[in-house]
Structures are given as C-alpha cells and as structure tokens.
Amino acid sequence: MSLMSISNWAAAEEGANPLIPHTAELVVGFVAFSLLFLVLRSKVVPMFEKAFSERTEAIQGGMEKAERAQLEAEKALAQYTTQLNEARGEAAKIREDARVQGAAIIEDLRNKAAEEAARITAAAVASIEAERQQAVTSLRNEVGSLATELAGKIVGEALDDQVRQSRIVDRFIADLEKSK
C-alpha cells in the first residue's frame, strides 16, 4: 500500500504510471522469454537429464555388478563346500572300502597260506612216506642180498634158489624186527 502511495505521488509529480505496460517491452519480454525457453529446452535440459540418468545408471550399474559378483562368489563357495563334503564322503568311503578290502585280502592270504602250508605239509609227508617206503624196499632188497651173500659166504651154501632166498630174508628181517 505504501508503494502504491509512493507511485501515485510520483505519478502525480512525473506523470507516468508504472503499472501501465509499454507495448515495446511486452513484445520484447515475450520474444526474449520464448527465445530463452526454446534454447534451454532444446540444449540445456536434455543434456542435464542425460548427465543425471548416466550418473544414476553408473551408480546402479556398479551396484548391480557388485551384487552379481557377490552372488557368483556365494555360488562358488556353495559349490566348493558341496564338493568338499562330497570329497570327504568319498574319502571316508574309500577308506572304509580299503579297510574292508584289506581285511578280505589278509583273510584270503591267510587262508591261502594255510592251504599252501597244508599242501606243503601233505606233500612233504607223502614224499617222506614214499621215500621211507622206497628206503625200506631198497634196504630190504639190499639187506636181503647182502645177508644172503654174507650167509652164503658163511654157510657156503648157495642160496641161489629164489624161493629159499626170500624165505631166509623174511625170517631174518622178522628176527631183526623182533630183536629191535
């Protein structure tokens, strides 16, 4: 209100009302403002918006990248953990298998060794028996012939007769066994 009174007073003194617009200034204001509007709208606003969206994108992109990397790391960790657990399980299984297998092998070997031992023992026994038989037979023959020879020499009687010879040998041996 005080402004109005000042301007009224001034207008009364100077004769110009500051509230009355000038045509030239209206035209200039319209043209100048439109010009500025067109320049700012076409050149400035799109560029600033571009910078803003690129900045937002850059920040978001970085965050997404980090998130992706974290996700990948988590996946890898899970994979490693699973693999590790699998490996542990497998190792335990292998150890168990080995233990069982080892026990089986030992058992098997023991059986085989026992068998072998039995076989060797049997073979030895058989061979000893055979050798003994052979020795007995050959001894018997040798002793017989020796004794016969000796007796023949001693008795002077030819004991060539086979039957007699064997009867004498048998009796001799029987005597020998009896005296033993």
Partner 1 sequence: MGVRLASEGGFKPPSTADFELPPVFGDNPYTTKPVFLVFFSVILVSVFFILASRKAAVVPSKLQFAGESIYSFVRNDLARDVIGHEFMRFVPYLFTLFTFILTNNLFGIIPFLQFPTMSRVSFPYVLAIFTFVIFHYVAVKHKGLIAYLKEIMFMPGVPKPVYILLTPIEVATYFLVRPLTLSLRLFANMFAGHLLLLVFILGGEHLLQGAIGLKLVSPFAFAFGIGLTFFEFMVQCLQAYIFTLLTALYIAGALADEH
On whether the CB atoms of residues 158 and 133 are closer than 8 A, the answer is: no
Minimal distance, residue 66 CB to partner 1, in Å: 17
Q: Residue 169 class from Cβ within 10 Å (0-12 exposed, 13-18 middle, 19+ buried)?
A: buried
Minimal distance, residue 53 CB to partner 1, in Å: 10
The identity of residue 156, as a single letter, is G
Dist. CA 131–CA 124, nearest whole Å? 10
Question: What is residue 103's three-state secondary structure?
Answer: helix
Minimal distance, residue 68 CB to partner 1, in Å: 21
CA 116 to the chain's CA centroid? 39
Question: What is residue 22's three-state secondary structure?
Answer: coil
Of residues 18 and 102, the one with the C-beta less far from partner 1: 18
Of residues 14 and 108, the one with the C-beta less far from partner 1: 14
Query: Where does this chain bind partner 1 (CB under 8 A)?
Result: 3, 6-7, 10-11, 13-14, 16-30, 32-33, 35-37, 39-41, 43-45, 47-48, 50-52, 54-55, 58
Dist. CA 92–CA 180, nearest whole Å? 70
Minimal distance, residue 35 CB to partner 1, in Å: 5
On whether the CB atoms of residues 173 and 140 are closer than 8 A, the answer is: yes
Of residues 33 and 80, the one with the C-beta less far from partner 1: 33
Of residues 32 and 176, the one with the C-beta less far from partner 1: 32
Of residues 39 and 113, the one with the C-beta less far from partner 1: 39
Minimal distance, residue 42 CB to partner 1, in Å: 9
